[in-house]
Structure 1
Amino acid sequence: MSCNRTVPFNIPPCVGDEIQFVQQAVEVNHKIAGDGLFTKKCNEWLESRFNSNKILLTTSGTSALEMAAILCDLKPGDEVILPSFTFTSTATAFVLAGAKLVFVDIRPDTMNIDETKIESAITERTRVIVPVHYAGVACEMDTIMDIARRHNLLVVEDAAQAVIATYKGRALGTIGDFGCYSFHETKNYSMGEGGAISINNSAYCDRAEIIREKGTNRAQFFRGQVAKYNWVDFGSSYLPSELNAAYLWAQLQHADEINENRLATWRAYYAAFEPLAEKGLLELPRVPKGCEHNAHMFYIKLRDLEARTSFITFMKEHGVGCVFHYVPLHSAPAGERFGRFSGEDEHTTPDSDRLVRLPMYYGMSLEDFEYVVSCATEYFLKKARA
């Protein structure tokens, strides 16, 4: 097959109304710093849609995690349990708060933290469990919450990839004590750089606002709750620009359309590759019962690292952007410095070595989709005949 198309791995979502709302922020609202009309609209939309106690937009998913780590009131030496198969932000947010990382193995079916291995990783220093909802597929939250409550631990959901995804009817990010979302350009809904934190325990709401506003009670001042705002705690500048919020607001108006479009592509990928999976040429992602995912990504697993490298090379030679995902954090220099692996690395490294992500984005054309499938199919059928 000759390389007659180029299919990028990702195209940032755009519904067409973004510039209009950004222009309104500049020319009509005369507000481009944070916490203007569009920021408030986004917060309220997310709270309503997710049935959340309080949601605040942040500058990134990373800063949402940093806020959550601060709210957990960690002390140096406290331990945080998390998977090693995740982005660095999941770990660095808690390292900045002074915590020691304890990595736990993942389930090979979902690439999520193995809930059956969490309890054995708990020590007298454990304070927080951080489940990461990989690919928008929920961790086994009932079990995780039960463990947390029995051991008096906080739960911070890393739902960066899981906006609109649910677990047994509940929005991911609203089940634990805190939930953290990302609106990076690679996510289903984007504001370029941005995120949000869901505060699921009302006792933390006031402090969350203070931390987000550089340690001041400015939000209370604007609501008329205090006569003047003051520096009352430590914090940072976690408030995003109103321009970013305006861009996001346009996409939230089309949230279901975007979601259905991505799900349609995901289902089409699954159907196209199912015959190859039945022949044992690849493995498909799995979605457990009770989990409604958001088609954040479509990945397949190959035999091993060598096979994956060969596949990615073939696809790139044919103009298709395919990528592997995380290098397990516990094997990285910083992971060795700031954490330890609890138990055996049975699946984290071997399965991360096999996983490859295919192009996936809102508005992917049928021609691009069919080209990706035809290239991948050609690769696997050639390997099967070899």
Structure 2
Amino acid sequence: MIPFNKPFIIGKELKYIEEAVKSGKISGDGIFTKKCQDFFQDRYRFPKVLLTTSCTDALEMAAILCDVKAGDEVIVPSYTFVSSANAFALRGAMLVFADSCSDNPNIDPKEIERLITDRTKVIVPVHYAGVACDMEAIMKLADKYNLFVVEDAAQAIDSYYTFSDGTKKALGAIGHFAAFSFHETKNIIAGEGGMLVVNDAKYFERAEIIREKGTNRSAFFRGEVNKYGWVDIGSSFLPSEIISAFLYGQLEHMDEIQSKRITIWNRYYEELQILTEKGYVDLPVIPDYATNNAHMFYLICRSCEERTKLIEFMKEQDIHPVFHYLSLNKSEYFLKDNAKIDILNSDHFTDRLLRLPFYYELAYDDQEKIIEMVKKFYSVF
């Protein structure tokens, strides 16, 4: 069987876990947590990084830091994972769903401006498949209307955006805050795990407090206060040292991981391009301002029915591709209190997008079989 995803060990992950246990500290904010945070701050010039137990937790921290309250409006793409919206719904926000671009699943900046009102507080661009949203356009809107931008960069590690003046920045370094994931389906994994990036120094201290259950415990351990107590709202967002140790073992091999994934992505694209030329499917679009971190490879089928048949055909060959999100505007939770609405591009990707198996240890022969079977389905050889 060729699964959709397969977790992997590439370096000293298990050795570092053993070291963490032997150190006598496997709760949060130990030596491996610091090593990981330093790695990201040094490599991507993120001003402040805080590891979390998940990307969801990082988004929830960002919602608190944005001071989102009941009645505030938050603009999120309809085509995204529930955490992108749920983090703000938990603060009482009214969710305003924006459509995707016509040629890729990322949020359309033109849709964002149309949806802004005097109650809008936050824009949440989601960098789908690790490909940058149009951050220059989005930041201009944020500046114009005095809004927060929280980048959902769950899939976007090691991906960049190039501004019109030639300036290049890592995704996550552009908005006010950003959230990343190290779930086992991501490029760099820790099973579960995430991180919050804070790009404005005035939020550094409060971010630490929120992450430490609303206490100033971090300042206490640095010797900045002589005791610590409850000073704000917060929760327990720290990952254990076991998660951080595994993650650090992966980070030491990031370039190797990324190189292999890009090779896999490019092979899919080159081999399946014939299907686009014949009008059977659309392949991923990488805008000029974006880089490709090879997080996933997907096809856009001609219909939902065709996608279903392709999935069934592939499973008969012991290959397991998967579809992705249900548009949040069509979700059971949203429809409890809201009328059914169509968001055309989002619904298009919901019905037709199909992700092919993609993981670091995907063997050449297995990828060859996947490509061959997709071509066979469309009778293209």
For normalisation by structure 1, the TM-score amounts to 0.95
CA distance in 2, matches of 1:265, 1:111: 21
Which residue does the alignment assign to 2:333?
A: 334
Which residue does the alignment assign to 2:247?
A: 248
RMSD across aligned C-alpha pairs, in angstroms? 1.4
Which residue does the alignment assign to 1:45?
A: 39
Amino acid at match of 1:200: N
Residue pairs, 1:118-137, within 5 angstroms = 118-137=112-131
Q: CA deviation at 1:138?
A: 0.2
Unaligned runs of 5+ in 1: 1-5
Q: Which is further off, 134-143 or 328-337?
A: 328-337
Whether 1:25 aligns to 2:40 is no
Which residue does the alignment assign to 1:215?
A: 214
Which residue does the alignment assign to 2:165?
A: none
Any idea what SS the aligned residue of 2:280 has?
Answer: coil
CA distance in 2, matches of 1:20, 1:337: 49
Q: 1:116 aligns with which of 110, 133, 141?
A: 110
Structure 1 residues 340 and 76: alpha-carbon distance in aligned structure 2, compared to 1, 3 A threshold: farther
CA distance in 1, matches of 2:75, 2:6: 33
Residue pairs, 1:133-144, within 5 angstroms = 133-144=127-138
State the identity %.
51
Residue pairs, 1:57-68, within 5 angstroms = 57-68=51-62
Determine if contact 2:329/2:343 at 8 Å carries over to the other structure: no
Structure 1 residues 10 and 19: alpha-carbon distance in aligned structure 2, compared to 1, 3 A threshold: same
CA distance in 1, matches of 2:83, 2:336: 16
Which residue does the alignment assign to 1:10?
A: 5
Q: CA deviation at 1:338?
A: 6.6
Any idea what SS the aligned residue of 2:299 has?
Answer: strand
Which residue does the alignment assign to 2:352?
A: 354
Determine if contact 1:102/1:340 at 8 Å carries over to the other structure: no
Which residue does the alignment assign to 2:144?
A: 150
CA distance in 1, matches of 2:65, 2:283: 38
Any idea what SS the aligned residue of 2:178 has?
Answer: strand
For normalisation by structure 2, the TM-score amounts to 0.96
Q: CA deviation at 1:296?
A: 0.5
Q: CA deviation at 1:16?
A: 3.3
Determine if contact 1:212/1:237 at 8 Å carries over to the other structure: yes
Output one character per residue of 1:20-39: Cα deviation in whole Å (capped at 9) or x when no partner. Answer: 00001012x22110000000
Q: 2:77 aligns with which of 83, 89, 92?
A: 83
Amino acid at match of 1:77: G
Q: CA deviation at 1:363?
A: 2.2
Structure 1 residues 162 and 340: alpha-carbon distance in aligned structure 2, compared to 1, 3 A threshold: farther
Structure 1 residues 338 and 288: alpha-carbon distance in aligned structure 2, compared to 1, 3 A threshold: farther
Output one character per residue of 1:41-85: Cα deviation in whole Å (capped at 9) or x when no partner. Answer: 001101111111100000000000000000000110100001010
Which residue does the alignment assign to 1:173?
A: 172
Determine if contact 2:78/2:343 at 8 Å carries over to the other structure: no
Any idea what SS the aligned residue of 2:6 has?
Answer: coil
* Paired residue total: 376
Which residue does the alignment assign to 1:380?
A: 378
Unaligned runs of 5+ in 2: 163-167
Any idea what SS the aligned residue of 1:292 has?
Answer: coil
Determine if contact 1:180/1:196 at 8 Å carries over to the other structure: yes
CA distance in 1, matches of 2:208, 2:107: 30
Q: CA deviation at 1:276?
A: 1.5
CA distance in 1, matches of 2:251, 2:225: 33
Q: CA deviation at 1:110?
A: 2.1
Amino acid at match of 1:356: L
Determine if contact 2:210/2:232 at 8 Å carries over to the other structure: yes
Any idea what SS the aligned residue of 2:57 has?
Answer: helix
Whether 1:314 aligns to 2:313 is yes
Q: CA deviation at 1:133?
A: 0.2
CA distance in 2, matches of 1:258, 1:298: 16
Whether 1:288 aligns to 2:251 is no
Which residue does the alignment assign to 1:3?
A: none
